[in-house]
Structure 1
Amino acid sequence: MKTIEATIEEKIRRSEQGGSDDCSKRPESLASRRSARAKKRKEDGESEWCDPDEIPVIVIDGYMSREKGPHAKELWTHLADWAAVLVENHVAHVIFLSNNVAASKPLSKSLPNMTFETIILADATLESALEFVYRHLDRDEYPDLIESVQTIGGRLTDLELFVQKVKSGLSPEDATHDILGRAVVEVRKGAFDFDSTDGRTLSWTPIQFWTVLKQLAQTENANFAELKIHPLFKNDESPFGAMEQAELITIVHKNGRPFALRPGKPVYHAAFREILKDIGFSAVMDLESATYLEKEEMVKVAKWEAELKELSNLLHKDGSWIFGGGRVPKEVDTRVKWLLKKLAESHAKVEKYEQEAVNAKKAVASLSLTG
């Protein structure tokens, strides 16, 4: 507080320097200014209030950077509540720095009626990333690094790692290959390796992430709504949130709603493509996906067939209406036609999934024979 007061006094002194030497216009001390304002507030009957210029700024770095430990959640909640008290009572401005996409949730709970100013740091563009790399590496010695930088992307930590590896003696190609290999391992471990012994519980299935990965391997932006209504997700947004929490993907918002998906890091775009090139792994994942979707569709087929069977019990053997009148009511006939249409659609999907499963099995078999 002493440092803050000294800084503010210096600010006042500098702002009023160069004025008249008249004693009445000389800068007052911070204490005297506060005393004068307090006296005026007392005379006017005003409640306690702080000049925004005099409110200190508190920066909390690394907020929710780790969520492990029995009391981690309590810590972040108490910090948010404490910051809320400071802000509401005009004691301090509070800035939270976090690499956790869910950091805004506890803050919103602590201050539900306040709008937060949020600044999201994006990855560097290709031009900025190249400029950063050439700031540390000799352009004459490494004249063509655009392909390496395109693969690595604009994440500062990855660019710094690339520079370090090149400076240590690796060629740009080897450095890029090493960083890409690490990214592939990160994705495999984070998205597909479900070792129950480590106590992890993930909120998505391997085939759900496989569907997202295939989309993002083809393009850096995948349609959020299209993936959300995919049969594997069934309009459930929670798996996407969990994937973003694990930093495997990034959800892009537009007008306050999820709009698109991007890789969690720029280098993951290349990593997704590398994983997709693994024919054996791709075949196994495609087989699991097709098998699951076929089972789901067969449940629908059984449902349509069961309802058709129930409706058939309302007809005589000659097809006439069981309740008399001979002719089948229009409502029943419409329902039967709808069920037959849905049955045909589901059967076509079952055939499609069966063919995909057969192709995947052939791919796996061919690898085992040549391996």
Structure 2
Amino acid sequence: MLHSTRAAILRAPQRSPLARRGHPAALHRHPFQTSPRCVAAKNRHASFQAGENDTGHISAGPNEGILFFDNVFPFRVQKVLGVPFASHDAPPGIFSQLLNPSHIGTDPTSVIENAVKKANLSSSVKAIETLWRAREGGAFVKFTHDGSTPSSEIEKTLKEYLQKKNIRPWFSPWSRMRVNLVKGKPWVEDMFRYPTQWLKVEFIPSEPGAEAVELSQEQLYAFFRPYGKLWDITPQPSDSKIVPRYAHLDYSSLARSVMAKNCMHGYLVGEADGGGKKGTVLRLTYEKKVKAHWIRDWLFSHPRVVIPIVAAIVAGITVAVFDPIRTFFVKAHITRTWHLQENRIYKWIVGYATDIIRWRRRKDDDAGMEAVWDDRKGNIEQIQTWLMETADTFIIVQGPRGSGKRELILDQALKEKKNKVIIDCKPIQEARGDSATINAAAMEVGYRPIFSWLNSISGMIDMAAQGATGVKTGFSETLDSQLSKIWNNTTTALRQIALDSRHKDDKDAHLGDDEWLEAHPEHRPVVVIDNFLHKSQESGVVYDKIAEWAARLTTTNIAHVIFLTNDVAFSKSLSKALPDRVFRQISLSDCSPEVAKKFVITHLDADVEDDQPPKDGSEKALPSQTRTDLGELDSCINLLGGRLTDLEFLARRIKTGETPNKAVHEIIDQSASEILKMYIFGSDSADDSSKRWTSEQAWMLIKELATKEMLRYNEVLLSDTYKSHGESALHALEQAELITIVSGPNGRPASIKPGKPVYHPAFKRLTEDTVLRSRLDLAILTDLIKIENATIEKCENELLLLSQLERQPAQLTPRVRYLLGKLAASQAKIEGYESEQKDMKKVLGAEY
């Protein structure tokens, strides 16, 4: 479908008379020139863009030919401008000068005229019609000649001219203008379809009833390679049932694809070229090169690249989105922003209501603690002084369980400190599984949201990816890394809390953040780590991470760190985190008898002090003044000791009406039962692998400590019962709080005493039970007999080996005497043990 240049703009339904007569005005009028007639005709629907008589084809008569020029317009100019034009192949008037071929030197008519003149060809070669194809960036030109010069020669002349002139429009400075002779019957539709580099070639019969021949790749290459570089030729699969048969051509550039399509569409391949007897017509169409599911296939086929990228994206989202949210929640947890008790309105309401209604001032659990705090006033003041100093080290409060460490710190030393966080290691250490441990650690500091369940899923994904790729992807995170995230977010929150006290009008406002934190230790928040080294023998990962995090807080002056621990060997764990620091330590022991008695009496009087006074105006009668059995407290406290939990238990039993002696004996009996259950009968159970001592080892200590208040550490290790894994058993019993190992000079273990003061009378109570004593002593003797029998067996084996020698050297005589003496000594011990066993068996057989 070719137009005259004037008809291309006017979009007339028929060819212009000027064009039909070959009038010069028609040849030189371009589609971007405007006139009143052009403007009036722009809205007409009919157009020669659909070919001659709207057939979509161009016809060429005798002595006529059709050429296609590329690089006349920018490709897809309509798509770039974003709106469809009234004329599908002509841009709006505002671009008429910018894209006018006559102005940019790409007018095909001028090119033909200049090339003909330069080649001295016959003047009868004239361009008679031009069809502009803005969507394809080119134009069709129909020309006439007198027959003396073949069309192929004219094509060659134009190619040589364009190659020599090297015409390059401003919109395409890297590619020049090209021309080719149209060999087929081009289809010049005016639908909104855009060219692509992917061409579909269909093999069509030349006439109805004829058979088309599917051309091979070599034949297709010979036809289409002259128009440009081909990336690939893809024939139709042999088992495909789709007709007509087809093949795909993939050109290296869009311009080459457009040139091939416009020049070869409708080309008849004759019998000589492999098209069959009747010939085969080539039908070309643009196709989008879309591979189904190519994104999914690429992702699944490149796991080594995709999975690390996904992990990085997830980590980036976590850092960018969730970390600020988590830091906000941690900060709110520390500052108690959402705690109702800290609200000013709530405090005012409670204070106003207290003036009207008398509330109980103190809880029963807190009654009597004033006497303890008076006794430990020096420790409280010492801790408060340390919190006001700039010292990058730990504060450690060590004492047995029930000695009041937590109350001393939270209720007294940090009573006026607002910004503090308490981290209890007990629920973290006792959690089962990584997810539970992460949840427990997050709850202690208010770290949320926490997706601990994703840790297990990501672990399975990482395992599957490792099986597929052979390398770890790093998608999953270990417990170590998850805990590090929690502590790092808490560090950020603590730093922000510490710096919130800084103001622009301060005298030292010019200091940096680190310098200001170092200069103002009073503004640092306090981190209290309770139950440190609780069940440390099971796993040390949690404690190692907490110690490293605490060291980072103290060395960077972000917060004060206070450790509360029952373990006397805490320095081994903490020295790894701060190897070059001297710790500030306070050791809490049991209360003195005077303080213990005052604690019990104050606890008894607490309830009466809060009661309403008598109506007769007399003074309230306190239990310490009315009860006559409180004189027994002195002897009872000597038995019970000064452990706060035991004293509180005693006071509660006395409140119920029991006498002090009866209450103490009940406590001793209960402690004795606990000892039997925890350390004797439960130590050898098959389902409890955490016990690292035998019942014989525990009973030996109980029996010895019943008669002596303290044992020598090394003397115990020399006994036959502790020959096997003696030290580990002693340390395990210390962790279980049956005994307490007291350190001597240079920190070495020196002596052993009961774990709690009440255990000493409990040990005596157990040894007074003859049946229990006989049973357990019998077990110890049986164990000792096994040891001596093993010794005798070794001596006999060695003597047998020596007796088998042919000659007995004199040097073997001392060794033989030594073995015989050792054998005799072991035999004598066995006889003595068996004699003792007879007496014990008599007791077991006679008593219940």
TM range (shorter): 0.7 to 0.9
Q: Mean Cα displacement is larger for which, 254-263 or 186-195?
A: 186-195
Provide the rounded CA distance (Å) in 2 between the counterparts of 1:332 and 1:114: 58
Which residue of 2 is the match for residue 150 of structure 1?
638
Q: Which residue of 2 is the match for residue 352 of structure 1?
A: 832
Q: Which residue of 1 aligns with 2:508?
A: 34
Match of 2:599 in 1: 132
Q: Is the 8 A contact 1:180 1:271 kept in 2?
A: yes
- 1: distance between equivalents of 2:805 and 2:688? 54
Q: Which residue of 2 aligns with 1:191?
A: 679
C-alpha distance in structure 1 between counterparts of 2:714 and 2:534, whole Å? 30
C-alpha distance in structure 2 between counterparts of 1:64 and 1:171, whole Å: 38
What percentage of aligned pairs have identical amino acids? 36
Aligned to 2:531: 63
In the alignment, residue 681 of structure 2 is paired with which amino acid?
D
Instruction: Report the Cα distance in structure 2 between the residues aligned to 1:99 and 1:30, rounded to whole angstroms.
Output: 44
- Structure with bigger gyration radius: 2
Instruction: Check the 8 A contact 1:67/1:73 in 2, yes or no.
Output: no
Cα distance between partner residues in 1 of 2:762 and 2:600: 21
TM-score (norm 1): 0.78
Find out whether 1:85 has 2:552 as its counterpart.
yes
Match for residue 202 of structure 1? 691
After superposition, residues 153-168 of structure 1 pair within 5 angstroms as 153-168=641-656
Once the two structures are TM-superposed, the CA of residue 177 in structure 1 deviates from its matched residue by 1.8
- Any gaps of 5 or more consecutive residues in structure 2? 1-330, 336-387, 389-502, 605-623
Aligned partners of 1:218 and 1:151: how far apart in 2? 14
Distance 1:220 1:55, change over 3 A: farther
The residue aligned with 1:244 is 734
Counterpart residue number, 2:716: 227
Query: What displacement does 1:131 show?
Result: 3.2
Amino acid at match of 2:633: L
Is 1:95 the equivalent of 2:539?
no
CA distance in 2 between counterparts of 1:31 and 1:65 reads 44
Change (3 A) 1:229 1:114: farther
Letter matched to residue 108 of structure 1: S
The answer to whether the Cα contact below 8 Å between 2:672 and 2:766 also exists between their aligned partners in 1 is yes
Is 1:107 paired with 2:597? no
1:291, CA displacement in angstroms? 0.6
| AA aligned opposite 1:366 | A
Checking the alignment, whether the CA contact within 8 Å between 2:754 and 2:760 is kept in structure 1 is yes
Shift of the alpha carbon at 1:182? Answer: 1.7
2:659 matches 1:180: no
Separation of aligned partners in 1, 2:523 and 2:550: 13
The verdict on how the C-alpha distance between 1:139 and 1:301 changes in structure 2, with shifts beyond 3 A counting, is farther
The structure in which a higher percent of residues are strand is 2
Amino acid at match of 2:508: R
Secondary structure of the corresponding residue to residue 62 of structure 1 = strand
| Deviation of the 1:350 alpha carbon | 1.4
Q: Distance in 1 between matches of 2:837 and 2:507?
A: 79
Shift in CA distance, 90/347, structure 1 to aligned 2, threshold 3 Å: same
Q: With CA pairs under 8 Å and 6+ residues apart, which has the higher RCO, 1 or 2?
A: 1
Q: 1:158 to 1:31 in 2, by over 3 A?
A: farther
Q: Which has the higher helix share?
A: 1
Q: How does 1:205-216 map to 2 (within 5 A)?
A: 205-216=694-705
Native 8 Å contact 2:650 2:663 kept in 1:
yes
**How many residue pairs get matched?**
326
2:590 is aligned, of 96, 115, 123, to 123
SS of residue paired to 1:294: helix
Q: 1:37 Cα shift?
A: 5.2
CA distance in structure 2 between the partners assigned to 1:49 and 1:169 by the alignment: 56
Indicate the larger mover: 126-135 or 147-156.
Answer: 126-135
Instruction: Give, in whole Å, the separation in 1 of the partners of 2:626 and 2:692.
Output: 49
Equivalent position to 2:793, from 302, 313, 316: 302
SS of equivalent to 1:82? helix
2:770 — aligned with what?
279
1:181-229 Cα distance to aligned partner (Å, 9 max, x none): 2211221121013274864520000000011111111122111111112
C-alpha displacement at 1:112, in angstroms?
3.6
Counterpart of 2:815 (choices 331, 335, 350) is: 335
Q: CA separation of 1:289/1:88 partners in 2, compared to 1, >3 Å: closer, same or farther?
A: same
Q: Which amino acid aligns with 1:34?
A: D
Q: Deviations over 1:109-144 (max 9, x none)?
A: 333443333322111233332333344451663223
